[in-house]
A = this chain, B = another copy of it.
């Protein structure tokens, strides 16, 4: 069987993580690397490919890689504001696209990318780990079958030692990141709030605090959903803890609590009893799913409409934060 040939756009630390994840997948092969920074390329080669005695070609410019290498798909792991251009180019070159979160950082880019993908008849998959986790699939199954009843409240938080650990990195440069902690780790939480409630926010209220940094470090958000449910999110990028987070979805017939990446689950039934052995089914990994999408045998659980939904939410969020007023979320 043909292997899916994948090119990496962006070879920093998250990209190396993804490279390792692609490794054991039968039918997948990373066949080209691209990064303007030669040190990133060298380290990627050393850590991922040297042990396998493989030497994929390296490129400084992704356009050159797209032009010269026969690829089935690309994975994009670059600063947020570059995603749109790179993904669009890859689609134009007929490649499938797996793109790190956030998909893009403006609503217009989101709409255009959806159109590009449609025209190119190629898959765009947004790499939120949560959306590819068995726990998220399970919760959406509960929602779909009505087993949580009507969702009435969603609340979550993400706390991370982020202000100091990303200081000076592109993540705190708004031209590259499109936003601060709320658009980085916060993106996982905010996406999960929509994905796990299956509700659309109609109004958003937010405050941010930059704590002297060039981007938002603290963000408090409230959402009013279409059915009147209320959501709260607290993104604290100046915590002493390396990482802590949780999301809870309360419905009239059940409540679930999980990580914003999946990986753990508590469920309470209509009587409020903890469900001791929830029937969570394994699902293919993010990386396996992308290969399956390329090979035409699966669909992504996180298509680009989720990138649009996040862009719409973030647009409202930042406008609210700058005006201290409720902002309506534009329709999809």
Interface residues of A (CB under 8 A from B): 134, 152-153, 155, 157, 159, 161, 203, 205, 207, 209, 211, 218-222, 224, 228-234, 236, 238-242, 248, 250-255, 264-265, 268-272, 276-280, 324-326
Contact = CB atoms under 8 A, between A and B. Distances in A.
Contacts of A236: 152-153, 155, 250
Contacts of A218: 152-153, 229-230
Contact of A159 (B153, B230, B241, B271): B153
B255 A250 contact: no
Nearest to A134: B277
Nearest to A280: B277
A229 to B, nearest CB: 7
Contacts of A248: 157, 159
Centre residue among A134, A207, A228, A251 by max chain B CB count within 10 A: A207
Where chain A touches its partner, the secondary structure class is: strand
Contacts of A277: 134, 265, 277-280
Contacts of A265: 277
Given A211-B152, A325-B326, A220 B239 contact: no
B220 A220 contact: no
A211 B234 CA distance: 24
Contacts of A222: 205, 207, 220, 222, 232
B207 A272 contact: no
A54 to B, nearest CB: 26
Contacts of A264: 276
Contact of A242 (B157, B233, B272): B272
Given A220-B232, A241-B268, 18 more contacts: A155-B157, A155-B232, A203-B324, A205-B207, A209-B229, A221-B232, A230-B234, A236-B250, A239-B272, A240-B253, A240-B268, A240-B269, A240-B270, A240-B271, A241-B255, A276-B280, A277-B277, A277-B278
A214 to B, nearest CB: 16
6 contacts: A134-B277, A159-B250, A230-B234, A231-B234, A240-B253, A240-B254
